[in-house]
Structure 1
Amino acid sequence: MPDPTDVEGLTVGQVSTRLGVTVRALHHWDEVGLARPSLRTAGGYRLYTAGDLERLHRIVIYRELGLGLDKIRSILDSTTAVPEALRAQRAQVADRIKRLRELSAGLDRMIDAHERGLLLTAEQQVAIIGPQWNPDWSVQARQRYGDTTQWQQFAEGSADRGPEEWQAIADAMLGFEGALGDAMDAGVQPGSAEANQLVEQHREVFASYFPLSRQMQVCLGRMFEGDPGYAAHYNGIRPGLATWFRRIIDASARVNGIDPETATWT
């Protein structure tokens, strides 16, 4: 608190220095009637008394507590409103702290998702995706694709997902792959309505990871057939399924005006 014995007739600049507030703020508080100086010089310059400084000190304290100027005015002009106003402000601060903690936790998850991909333990990954899954693959994917837009989209979706959501995604993909194998067994031809519907279903299911354009899907089809790991996965469902899957993707792309031979990851 200011010492009233040495404070009488302080200028705006002196008060600004003592309280650590700007001259502009002091002028504003004067203009809105929140803290007007009691004295003026012959030339009209503001001079603050000890009583003025005490009021200003309280304003600074309440402002640091997050109170608005109108609330500060009501507190300063009332003899009974201080405890109630401070309790209400304390409740608002507690709520803000809770939101900030939630935001901090969300940011931690987002950072982890960008760095790790799947926010699941190795045991959870194998249990959900299947025994053929290697938890190191997610780390390898981060190293290979971490700078791409698709990895960022995947990570931001992953940050909000727990085991139940990933289980639902895995079940949807498993159901699609079963339908894919059944369609090949049934002799469904590339370019047919049924084959094109399967291609659309693949894009919908895959969108759980990141949005998949038709051109990107063509690139995936090539990878499913040409990459030994992916080819082994699809051919393990049905012999020859990797190639058949690539063919129905290519045929659907042509229907939609895309030349599979020139398709790029866009």
Structure 2
Amino acid sequence: MDGQRPVTTGERLTVGQVAERFGVTVRTLHHYDHVGLLRPSERSAGGYRLYTEEDLLRLRHVVVYRRLGLPLERIEELLAAEEPGAVLAHLRRQRESVLSRLAELADLVTAIDRALEKEMTGIDLTPQERRELFGEGFSDEYAAEAERRWGDTDAWEQSRRRTAGYDAEDWRRIAAETAAINQRFVEALRAGLPATSAEAMDAAEAARRQIHDRFYDLSPEFHRALGDMYVADPRFTSTYEDLAPGLAQYVRDAIHANADRAAG
């Protein structure tokens, strides 16, 4: 894979060396070891785990499959398949799937660019443009409902005042921040890390801080209510489920764990 140095025949690497070379965390490698997906074949005289050339080849396959979004259980099944062509056939199917997603993403980028050209401040988007930007789940009734539910709150007014001054570049940064935070949640979920892990809680804190800094004051305790809404309202739930199955509940649980951590 890109950026990875070739493995020398007979080479033995420690957990830290493997993490650095493959761009994964030590915690992830320990988790793969714990669930039996990738266990180091050897130990040093001091008892440290050592990965062999065969172990690293297996890890290369695991990394590829994880980037394709496969759950760990499915990866283990594929790697255990006796048929030599099973892995190749699956990779070909995944390649077609990725190409299809690339086409969809290209259309989404076009829709986002069109919205950004309107600078997203002071200029209303048409219903069709909003659907292109936010997905088929968007509706004018949904936006009106949000204003009815929260329009008389301090948070709504504070958010309205802040966003009124945002220009296209501000919204571009916010969109990038949101995508990066969501990707952190997805990676933690797909790595099999619990919602109480440092990675998941740190992503939840980043999500809280973004709302706090960009829109309205948001305490960790208030953030719990938002997390509950992500699983209580199907429209919010679908936003996360479209990124990864089970992500809405995972984000909610990470938000609660982060609030517990903040409370000491």
Question: Taking structure 1 as the reference length, what is the TM-score of the superposition?
Answer: 0.48
Question: Taking structure 2 as the reference length, what is the TM-score of the superposition?
Answer: 0.48
